[in-house]
């Protein structure tokens, strides 16, 4: 597992406006954390629904392995067990990861 990889994840039942069900996520955890066989990984869930939100980052098909343009919902950042990860689709490119990093840092106040 690598930072920036996109996997299908079983996110369970929603509470409020959370993303739920089986959906793609981008692995956000640092590579040093991932290399330590962690009990949880930090992910950003994705949606195919386009909204004019400054917290959504567009991810195109291609290297991502996704079939359609999707959007990383940075406001839904969460930690999940690696056991919830299924099929690997592909990976987000450096430009997408840079944008995700900027938004997540802003959301967390860094």
In whole angstroms, give the CA distance from residue 107 to residue 102: 9
Can you tell me the mean pLDDT for 68-81? 96
Q: Which residues contact 104 (CB under 8 A, 6 or more apart)?
A: 28, 44, 74, 77
Percent of the chain with pLDDT over 70: 100
CATH architecture designation of domain 5-108: Roll (2.30)
pLDDT at 18 over 80: no
pLDDT at 5 over 90: yes
Identify the pLDDT of residue 91: 97
pLDDT at 38 over 90: yes
Identify the pLDDT of residue 13: 80
Average pLDDT, the chain: 94
Across 18-27, 45-54, 61-70, least confident range: 18-27
Domain extents in the chain: 5-108
């Amino acid at each position: 597992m690598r930072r920036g990889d996109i996997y299908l994840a079983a996110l369970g039942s929603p509470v409020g406006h959370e993303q739920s069900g089986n959906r793609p996520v981008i692995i956000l955890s640092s590579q040093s954390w991932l290399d330590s066989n962690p009990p949880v990984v930090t992910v950003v869930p994705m949606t195919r629904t386009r909204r004019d939100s400054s917290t959504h980052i567009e991810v195109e098909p291609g290297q991502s392995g996704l079939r359609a343009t999707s959007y990383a919902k940075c406001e839904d950042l969460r930690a999940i067990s690696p056991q919830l990860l299924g099929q690997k689709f592909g990976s987000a490119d450096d430009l997408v990861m840079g944008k995700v990093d900027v938004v997540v840092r802003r959301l967390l106040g860094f």
